[in-house]
Structures are given as structure tokens and as C-alpha cells.
A = this chain, B = another copy of it.
Amino acid sequence: MNAALRKQRLRAFIRQVWDLGNSAAADDYIAECYRIHHDPGDPWDGQSLDLAGYKDRVDRSRAAFPDQAFDIQGLFADGDHVVMTWLWSATHRGDLPGFPASGRTIRMSGATAYGYDADHRLTGHWQITDRLGVYQQLQANLSATR
């Protein structure tokens, strides 16, 4: 029961907050304290965020990639966690340090283990993304436009 509900809520959260950029909707999904346990390369790695901090993270993360979309590959529920495996794509529309907006499509893949509280809100995550793949695409686009 909980597993199906939590998977459904995770799909809705990813769609509303991360794909469509409705960071205010995080109120319905994120606990008062959200812990980023492990997320190499993420600027918020290791931090605990309140709701305002979480929304700020969403807004800043999406700034360079406003049309981003997650393509969920698998959802795996066990105990108080749901793990999501995913692909992601976005048009590079905003500047990143060292990489001005290219207008090109960037693709990424990753896996994220989300923790839940008793109210089925997200309490944090442990995440790996294929950063090297993204870096190589940004680098190739930079070379192509020079």
C-alpha cells in the first residue's frame, strides 16, 4: 500500500517540481528538514535544507535547463525508501561556469534513493549521476561553437 502510494507521489513530485519547475509544489512533498546524504558534484552535497532552501535548490538547478525532463526507468520501494533510476534530458539554455548556453540537448542518467517519513514526505536522498557524461557533452558543445 505504502509502496504504491510513495511511488505515485514520487512520480508526481518529479513531474511537478523538477520537470515543470513548480518549486512551490515542494510544500506537498518535502519534509521540514531535507538531508542530501551523498550527491557527488551537487553544490548542496552534505547539506540539510529547509523548505525554502530546497525550493532555492530547485530554482537554481533548473536555471540553465528550463525544459528539463526526467524519464523514470525504475522505482524500487523497500522499507522507508524508494529508489528511482532515471534518464534526463534538457536544452542547455542558461550559462554554467565555463560553459555558456549552447542551445544543445544534454542527456544524463542517474540513480536516487529517497527516504520517506510517516506522512510520505521526502526526508532526503543519496544520489549518483553520470557527471562525466554531462561534462563530455558540455565540452564537445563548447568546442563545436568556438
Contact = CB atoms under 8 A, between A and B. Distances in A.
B131 A130 contact: yes
Contact of A76 (B73, B78, B129, B132): B78
Interface stretch (A11-19, A28-36, A92-100, A109-117): A109-117
A76 B81 contact: yes
Number of copies: 2
A30 to B, nearest CB: 20
Contact of A83 (B40, B111, B130): B111
A23 B86 CA distance: 30
Interface residues of A, number: 28
Contact of A132 (B38, B41, B111): B41
Given A128-B110, A130-B40, A74 B81 contact: yes
A145 to B, nearest CB: 22
A85 interface: yes
B3 A109 contact: no
A77 interface: yes
B76 A130 contact: no
